[in-house]
Structure 1
Amino acid sequence: MPRVWTKLSGDRAEALRLWAQREGVKEDDSTRLFSVIARRYVREVLPTKAASTRRDNEKELANLLRVFGHVPIDFIAPMHIREYLDIRGQTAKVRANREKALFSHIFNKAREWGYTTASNPCQGVKGFKETGRDRYVTNEEFEKVKAKAHFTVGDAMDLALLTGQRPSDVLKIKKSDIRDGALWIVQNKTGARLGIEITGELAAVIDRINARPCQAISPYLLQDDKGQPLSLYALRSRFDKARELAKVTFQFRDIRAKAATDIGDLAHSQKLLAHKNREMTEHYVRSRLGERVKPLR
């Protein structure tokens, strides 16, 4: 009887693991290394995430692989996660928390894929306490930076303020997203969809942008005079330069919080920012301005 060849996997370690399971023999530890599982995670899970999340995860995974890459997944215990956090936290507490979260997700996937039946070693290991940003941008600060900024950055600042959207969502707006009297946005981070009515100042800003002479035609709303879309790198570089000239220290992402705060109506802010619940919006606003209260008398 002729042999029938079955391709188990393009990954050698994964193929060996599947072969051992089929043959009923003990798997070699090399088939369950953290690096092996991480490779599968990169192939199967990472592509399902937003581009910005993928970029962050790739950096986080590089750090995790330096420490855990050569270790079989079953050998990693809570004490090792604690030690990793303590050492990493000496220079980057927030990054250490993010790396722990990624490790935990990879380990859970390892359980789903059959690499281990052990408990997640991150369980019960506390990360570092984080404090959210509480920077409120005043109108004066906003205008100071805008006055020193390249016109593409000024346009981006106005759009970010009036729409309450994240930088990446502002930059990806296309002219085709403007239809039926609204600006239609699908948020990169959450996938939330919303149509922002084009009225008042937003309408004026869009008209101003569209009225600028341009040497070439681009599908993007934000573009320079040569028709090139404004990239995230260019936004950061030009915004940082404007901040230095204006001697103001807020970050571009703080504009989203300013939009939520300046509206003065939590229900409206929640809808504009596409927050899932009111509590998230309340925290977002109060952490910057504080809660307004009446005096004793």
Structure 2
Amino acid sequence: MQGFRARVQKSGKTYYYFDKGGKPRREIPLGPDYVLAVKKWADLTSELHKGEEVSTFIELATRYEREVLPTKAKSTQSTQRGDIKKLREFFSNPTPAPLNQIKPKHIHMLLEYHKKTPTTANRLKRVFSHMFNTARAWGYTENENPVKGIEGYTLDRREVYIDDKVFAAVYEAGSQSLRDSMDLAYLTGQRPSDTLRMDDSQLVDGAMVIKQGKTGARLRIKIEGKLAEVLERIAARKAGHKLHCSSLTVNQHGKPMTKQTLRKQFEAAREQAAKTHPKLAAQIAAMWFYDLRAKAADDTAETRGEQAAADLLGHDSVTTTQQHYLRKGRLVSPTK
């Protein structure tokens, strides 16, 4: 029985106590009669927990989705909404789990349940951890975060470098809309979501002003060289449409490119490029649009150094660029 303590006195007689816990520990004497002591213990336990609310993970998830999720970037909202759905399913089987009863072993079980998709498993662990810390801040629980000490899966680093031949093959097979998007993503080194958000209002005083959606990092990219040529070409193409659109990535009708349209056009171009260039088919099939950000980092690092690559990608630390984006390998000279 939780909180029920028995102590043998010097006289040999046993006395019983109710341990209220806390620091310093507080105990209430229950007397030497075991039956009466148990009755008093039951009454005190009931009184101690009277009116105490039991918060479940489902209650936390509902409030988190309502108050916290809308403050995040749209792309993050979309991903985490799906993650929270998975967490809801896991922590409500067979009944909604009380937050105070979620232990480290349950986080391990969550990882095991999603072991076939380790990237997703690790992300679910991160999302749960933030949700639980938020629950602590809201007063839903005072328990330690059960994620503490539980290791996620070790993931292999993506090593794909898109060389110029592969880039050109997909580029040539794509529509003009896709080509513009590929040029902007590569020349600016930005994520696909940030590329799709680029518009005329960001072109200020000879620079493209970027505020990254994921991190909030701000940078200004000089409008010069190939980027200046691409922006002129985009402006000319947009001028040919009756519909005025401020977006820099527009489809064949002059409307803003959506994430879905970009994906479909890229996949179609990649498929066509593989047929046209069978010797490059495997490399082409392995290409993701997101790899253009890593290509931008590698190509910039090779010509202007790793710090320049980190600056272009909006990283505060060169280490981040080195760990996650530089895939080509440093170019060095031989011993002799």
| TM-score bracket, shorter-length normalisation | 0.7 to 0.9
Counterpart position of 2:114: 88
Match of 1:107 among 122, 132, 157: 132
Q: Does 1:259 align with 2:259?
A: no
Gapped regions of structure 2 (runs ≥ 5): 1-48, 275-283
Counterpart AA for 2:333: K
Q: Alpha-carbon deviations, 1:125-151, whole Å to 9, x = none?
A: 111001232110001110100100011
Counterpart position of 2:322: 282
Match of 1:76 among 95, 98, 102: 102
Give SS of 1:289's match.
coil
Match of 1:228 among 242, 248, 255: 255
Q: Does 1:238 align with 2:265?
A: yes
- d(CA) in 2 for partners of 1:292, 1:197: 26
Gapped regions of structure 1 (runs ≥ 5): 1-23
More strand by share: 2
Q: Does 1:189 align with 2:214?
A: yes
Q: Does 1:294 align with 2:333?
A: yes
- d(CA) in 2 for partners of 1:284, 1:120: 28
- d(CA) in 1 for partners of 2:124, 2:109: 13
- d(CA) in 2 for partners of 1:219, 1:130: 40
Counterpart position of 1:45: 68
- d(CA) in 1 for partners of 2:309, 2:325: 9
Give SS of 1:252's match.
coil
Alignment of 1:1-297 (within 5 A): 25-29=50-54, 32-69=55-92, 70-89=96-115, 91-212=116-237, 213-247=240-274, 248-249=284-285, 250-263=287-300, 264=302, 265-286=305-326, 288-297=327-336
- d(CA) in 2 for partners of 1:72, 1:80: 12
Q: CA deviation at 1:282?
A: 2.4
Instruction: Confirm or deny: 8 A CA contact 1:177 1:185 kept in the other structure.
Output: yes
- d(CA) in 2 for partners of 1:167, 1:206: 17
Q: CA deviation at 1:189?
A: 0.7
Q: CA deviation at 1:196?
A: 0.9
Question: Higher mean Cα deviation, 151-160 or 207-216?
Answer: 207-216
Counterpart AA for 1:74: N
Aligned residues: CA RMSD = 1.4
CA spacing shift, 1:197–1:28, aligned 2, 3 Å? closer
Instruction: Confirm or deny: 8 A CA contact 2:174 2:266 kept in the other structure.
Output: yes
Q: Tell me the number of residue pairs that the alignment of Structure 1 and Structure 2 aligns.
A: 270
Give the TM-score normalised by the residue count of structure 1.
0.87
Q: CA deviation at 1:224?
A: 2.6
Q: CA deviation at 1:109?
A: 1.1
Q: CA deviation at 1:262?
A: 0.6
Instruction: Confirm or deny: 8 A CA contact 2:177 2:252 kept in the other structure.
Output: no
Give identity over the alignment, percent: 40
Give SS of 2:289's match.
coil
Q: CA deviation at 1:276?
A: 1.2
Q: Over alpha carbons, which structure has the higher Rg?
A: 2
Counterpart AA for 2:97: V
Give SS of 2:247's match.
coil
Q: CA deviation at 1:25?
A: 3.5
- d(CA) in 2 for partners of 1:189, 1:103: 19
